[in-house]
């Protein structure tokens, strides 16, 4: 596994000698980079996007919170389950009803509510 971890952002700003260092506070302290002509700050906290593909455990937990849904999602593979989950988080109920006509509307509404949590 050779995937670079995003540790810090180093960028040159308006004044030629000034640098701004943005640090991931979970990895470094800003004090490690303080110095002459260097501005330091923390990278703003990042959050999961609503349309990010879900972690499997989170997705299954959400599905399990909707009684009766299992019957409809058990034939779906991982891909279709993920797509259903993201749609439930991001798409209006009317669209969900059109896309999943075999799932009762009440279950879709409940799923939408659970996915938003």
Residues that bind another protein (CB under 8 A): 1, 3, 5, 43-53, 56-57, 75, 77-79, 82-83, 86, 90
Closest CB 22 distance from another protein, rounded Å = 11
* 12 versus 56: smaller Cβ distance to another protein: 56
Closest CB 49 distance from another protein, rounded Å = 5
Closest CB 87 distance from another protein, rounded Å = 9
Q: At residue 49, what are phi and psi to the nearest 5 degrees?
A: -70, 150
CB neighbours (10 Å) of residue 43? Answer: 16
* 15 versus 53: smaller Cβ distance to another protein: 53
Distances from the Cα of 35 to the Cα of 1, 2, 24, angstroms: 34, 31, 18
- 3-class secondary-structure state, position 12: strand
């Amino acid at each position: 596994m050779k995937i670079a971890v995003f540790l810090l952002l180093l960028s040159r700003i308006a004044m030629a000698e000034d640098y701004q260092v943005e640090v991931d506070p979970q990895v470094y302290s800003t004090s490690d980079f303080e110095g002459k002509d260097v501005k330091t700050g923390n990278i703003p906290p990042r959050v999961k996007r609503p349309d990010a593909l879900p972690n499997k455990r989170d997705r299954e937990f959400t599905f399990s919170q909707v009684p009766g849904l299992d019957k409809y999602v058990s034939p779906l593979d991982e891909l279709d389950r993920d797509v259903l989950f993201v749609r439930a988080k991001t798409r209006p109920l009317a669209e969900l009803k059109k896309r999943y006509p075999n799932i009762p509307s009440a279950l879709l509404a409940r799923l939408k509510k659970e996915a938003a949590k």
